[in-house]
Amino acid sequence: MTDPNETPQAEKLNFPGRHQALSSDSKDHHVCEKWKNYSIRSPYVKFMLESMKKLGCEVNIEKQLICEPCSGKVLGGFDSRSSQIVLCENTIYSPGCMKDVLTHELIHAYDHCRAHVDWQNIKHLACSEIRAASLSGDCFFWKENLARFNFGLKKHHQECVKERAIKSILCVMDVDENEAKNAVESVFDSCFADTEPFDRIPP
């Protein structure tokens, strides 16, 4: 999941932001669909959709990219039980935000297809969150206003990825911060180095 502060939260068997009791606002829904259709033409989103197709997990835009209201402040999430990406029509606030959310969640969907992730396994969860934060743009240096000048660019990117992955785990798993940190550290090097389907961390 991702929240309005662009902090991705973790995925599990069912996207916890989905709330059937929430009613959809027709205006929000229309805007969400408009921004979704705009975003699927962006280079990163288009590349991720093509990569999913190559894996044999082609995304049905109408049935698997779903605009609906969400509880809390999340922007979106991957519902692994239904293989749907939920786009939170009541919190996504711009076309650029929509593009970032789609890219982030498509990385989770890619991992689910490629690696058969057990979202209840803290190390699996940590690995996918590390990859999503690193590859989706969550931690691209021009989006980060704090501590940017305290680290070199590579150092800052890694620290940002770790911080966001830890916060993600804490959002959905009943673990303390030390457990989350240990999980992230235990898989960080291999998962950070895994840039599939990109050749490298996108610029």
- HSE, CB side, 13 Å, CA atoms: give it for residue 108: 33
Please tell me the pTM assigned to this model. Answer: 0.84
The closest of 66, 62, 112 to 86, measured between CA atoms, is: 66
Is it the case that residue 192 has pLDDT exceeding 60? yes
Task: Name the least confident of 78-87, 92-101, 118-127, 147-156.
Answer: 147-156
Percent of the chain with pLDDT over 70: 83
Question: What value does the mean pLDDT take over residues 136-162?
Answer: 69
Question: What's the number of CA atoms in the CB half-sphere (13 Å) around residue 85?
Answer: 27
pLDDT at 81: 87
Instruction: Work out the percent of the chain whose per-residue pLDDT is above 90.
Output: 61
Confidence of residue 3 (pLDDT cuts 50, 70, 90): very low
Per the model's pLDDT, the better-predicted residue between 63 and 148 turns out to be 63
Task: Give the pLDDT mean for 105-129.
Answer: 93
Q: Which of 52-66, 83-97, 102-116, 130-144 has the lowest mean pLDDT?
A: 130-144
Q: What is the mean pLDDT of residues 164-172?
A: 83
Determine the pLDDT at residue 177.
96
Q: What whole-number distance in Å separates Cα of residue 169 and Cα of residue 172?
A: 6
DSSP code per residue over 145-169: -SSTTTS-HHHHHHHHHHHHHHHHH
Tell me the pLDDT band of 9, cut-offs 50, 70 and 90.
very low
Write down the mean pLDDT value for the chain: 85
Position 6 scores a pLDDT of 41
Identify the active-site residue in 6, 11, 105, 129: 105
Active site residue 179: no
Say yes or no to pLDDT of 57 above 50: yes
